[in-house]
Amino acid sequence: MSIRTEQMTLNMGPQHPSTHGVFRLVLTIEGETIVKAEPVIGYLHRGSEKLAENLLYTQFIPYTDRLDYLNAMTNNYIYCAGVEELLDWEIPERAEYLRVLVMELNRIASHLVWWGTFLLDIGALSPFLYAFRDRDLILDRLNEISGARMTFNYVRIGGVKWDAPDGWIEKVQETVKEVRENIHEYDRLVTGNEIFQARTIGVGKITQEDAINWGLSGPIARGSGLKFDLRKEEPYSIYDRFDFDVPTFQEGDVYARYKTRIAEMHESLKIIEQACADIPDGEYIHKKGKRIMMIKPKPGEVYKRCEASKGEIGVYIVSDGKTQPYRVKLRRPSFVNVQILQDYLVGEPIANLVAIFGSLDIVLGEVDA
Amino acid sequence: MELLMMVVYAVTVLMLLLGAVTYSILFERKVIGYMQVRHGPNRHGPFGMLQTIADVSKLLMKEDVIPKAADRPIFILAPVVAFVPAFAIFATIAWSENIYAADLNIGVLYFIGISSITTLGVIMGGWSSNNKYSLMGAMRGVAQVISYEIPLVLSIVGVVILAGTLNFREIVLYQETIGLWLIIPQFLAFLVYMIAAIAELNRSPFDLPEAESELVSGYHTEYSGFRFAFFMLAEYTYALAISALATTLFLGGWLGPAFLPGIVWFLLKMCGFMFIWFWLRATLPRARVDHLMGFGWKVLIPLALLNIVVTAVIKVWMGW
């Protein structure tokens, strides 16, 4: 006699503790094995791209903060860099250094949030609190320079909003030391753990070919053996002046992505140290950028991309010579990266779902824009 | 008269137990708090001593929600079924040479038999709430508890073989006569017992039935108010009971230097075990269902069996 079994539809999210916001998955499961996974997104859609068409060029910068709110500096930067290219402005040296500093600090903060929440998904409680302690150190520094903890609105067209306050660079150097030690400690606490390795090694393998075909970027692609980092490939800002590696791992599993991000934090710390040592004095914003609200770039279009903590973030701006952009299109790395989920969840148990989904490092503000 | 005494005793134990659970929850939150570089509860009373009482009164005042689609009688019964056995276990535990409720000759057997009933409460709660997450949590819980019950019992067998009795008091007295805590000759059994006990208690890293990040919170997702408190109470009572069992079997019960009374030693050792559960919870990530099952059946059970064989051979050979 055989027992009659049935497939079950399980609605996971948008209010589920491990969907990090308002992501929703409609799963078809057989026992605990996933047969079909259907991601549903759009719960946080705000129409940012359309909003941009009715705003002045400078007015759109705060909206970019709210895309990937864990990594707002890079979003600020890429939009401003796009507009600057349309305007053909020369950016002061000091401004570029400050931009690199805040972007790298923010990258570490973003990776730390990922580290904590990912381990929380896997079931370890404490790392979450440790990660947030260190993130807070970084946020304090960013707060001192920009006046905000998450939605900075600091990078402006032509430079940055304010110069660094007195003694800020020294404080950053101290923070770097502290954070580096702590990351080492966390690495010792978690990475070698038997249970952790059993949960992550060989789970959610993404081949290099798939990574390319799905357009993945950032630590996910690098965890699959794809040595692709825009800071090296097409150095923007002043990244060509710094000495750093692009950590790449071949395995493509959750563990490789984990190691990539840990190694990346160390590389970012290296960049910050070098930038702190070299930072010149001078202007922090282009002289026209200081006051002007109304910017009228010449008609034309530009696509500018850079390396955010989640992957390649890009902005495509079309100008028709007016004070408002004709069209703004954002390439959001989380949105692209999350697409792979539906194929890669089939055949996995629910416990792996959490690990795989967590390892992609999605921010819903960016997925839905 | 005898009946009256029984009632008095039962109520006393219940009150003491409620106090113990109240403060072990506080203890857990403090321990985990300090491990996570924060203070833990410290607003209500000195050192947050009244925190749990405040929490429980909040739970008591909450609306008693029963989902419409739930199976009402079973839903209501489940927390009680989970709690009563956990409480009943305490009858046989010998707190010191003279303080015990029932000097049962089959104490160990009683303990194990009664404690398995708790599982029934879990599956009743999970199934009757008519929630998919709860159902999955309950299924996991039952599979896990049944699989780990076996190594747990097998690890105790080694102790029983050595002591030659199932009576808790006599097991401790045996340890007194040989002048050795059984953790030393039975170290393998102790390890198996500890791991199996964590799984039995559904505590981290084996807290799969209530895996928050996967199953929201497992079998008690739909419970609120006092019913939820009852599940919590059952969980902590059971944790205390398992610690008491470990103390009796492996750490010589009330034995210890004479400057403290026996019961104090017993409670201290119990606290030590409680601390270990909390410590693990603050440190480790959660294991996966299939890994857990594999580990239980392929590693723990053979080890426990090996321990029994070795113990039996030594016992016969050495004539202990």
Is the Cβ pair A193, B284 closer than 8 Å? yes
3-state secondary structure chain B: CHHHHHHHHHHHHHHHHHHHHHHHHHHHHHHHHHHCCCCCCCCCCHHHCCHHHHHHHHHHHCCCCCCCCCCHHHHHHHHHHHHHHHHHHHHCCECCCCCECCCCCCHHHHHHHHHHHHHHHHHHHHHHCCCHHHHHHHHHHHHHHHHHHHHHHHHHHHHHHHHCCCCHHHHHHHHHHHCCCCCCCCHHHHHHHHHHHHHHCCCCCCCHHHCHHHHCCHHHCCCCHHHHHHHHHHHHHHHHHHHHHHHHHHCCCCCCCCCCCHHHHHHHHHHHHHHHHHHHHHHCCCCCHHHHHHHHHHHHHHHHHHHHHHHHHHHHHHCC
- For chain A, positions 2-21, list CB contacts with chain B under 8 A: 8, 10, 16-18
Record the tokens describing residue B231, joined without a space: 């599940």
Most confident of A132-136, B143-147, B175-179: A132-136
- pLDDT for the residue numbered A316: 92
- Contacts with A, B 284-303, CB within 8 Å: 284-291
Task: Tell me the per-residue pLDDT of B273-288, one tens digit each, with 9 for 90 and over.
Answer: 889 888 888 888 888 8
Partners of A16 on chain B (C-beta within 8 Å) are 216
Residue A266 CB-density burial (10 A; 0-12 exposed, 13-18 middle, 19+ buried) = middle
User: Residue B231: is its pLDDT beyond 80?
Assistant: yes
Residue B138 has pLDDT above 70, yes or no: yes
Residue A17 has its nearest CB partner, among B136, B205, B216, at B216
**Segment B55-79, tens digit of pLDDT:** 888 888 888 888 888 888 888 888 8
Token pair, residue B110, equals: 């009683």
Q: Taking a C-beta distance cutoff of 8 angstroms, is the pair A168, A292 a contact?
A: no
Secondary element (H or E) of residue A24: strand A24-30
Task: Give mean pLDDT, residues B249-277.
Answer: 84
- For residue A241, give the DSSP letter: G
Sign of the alpha-carbon dihedral angle for A91, A94, A97, A103: negative
The answer to whether the CB atoms of B285 and A122 lie below 8 A apart is: yes
* Chain-centre distance for alpha carbon B20: 13
Identity of residue B92: T
pLDDT in tens, B100-121: 777 778 888 888 888 888 888 8
In the predicted model, is pLDDT for residue B319 greater than 70? no
Task: Establish, for the pair of chains A and B, how many residue pairs have beta carbons separated by less than 8 Å.
Answer: 81
Q: Are B212 and A17 inside 8 Å of each other by CB?
A: yes
| 3-state secondary structure (DSSP) of residue A243 | coil
In this complex, is the C-beta atom of A126 within 8 Å of any C-beta atom belonging to chain B? yes
Within a 10 A sphere around the Cβ of B86, how many other Cβ atoms? Answer: 24
A10 contacts on B by Cβ (under 8 Å): 132-133
Which residues of chain B does A197 touch, with a Cβ-Cβ cutoff of 8 Å?
Answer: none
The arithmetic mean of pLDDT across residues B300-310, rounded, is: 89
pLDDT over threshold 70, residue B214: no
Judged by CB atoms closer than 8 Å, whether chains meet at A195 and B207 is answered as: no
Dist. CA A19–CA B182, nearest whole Å: 47
Report the 10 Å Cβ neighbour count for A88. Answer: 9
**A96-120 pLDDT per residue, tens:** 888 898 999 999 999 999 998 888 8
Residues A296-351 have pLDDT tens digits of 888 888 898 888 888 888 899 998 888 888 988 988 888 888 888 888 888 888 77
A197 touches chain B (CB under 8 A): no
Between the CA of residue B287 and those of A113, A117, A320, A358, what are the distances in Å?
A: 22, 17, 57, 16
Q: Output the pLDDT for position B213.
A: 62
Asked if residue B212 has pLDDT above 70, the reply is: no
- What's the pLDDT band for B254 if we cut at 50, 70, 90? confident
Closest in A8, A129, A349 to B289, CB measured: A349
Confidence of residue B256 (pLDDT cuts 50, 70, 90): confident
Mean pLDDT of the region B12-24: 85
Q: Average pLDDT by consecutive 10-residue portion of chain A (369 residues)?
A: 76 74 82 83 85 88 86 89 87 88 90 89 84 90 88 86 87 90 87 84 85 87 86 84 87 88 90 88 80 81 88 89 88 87 82 83 80
pLDDT tens digits, one per residue of A235-250: 888 888 888 888 888 8
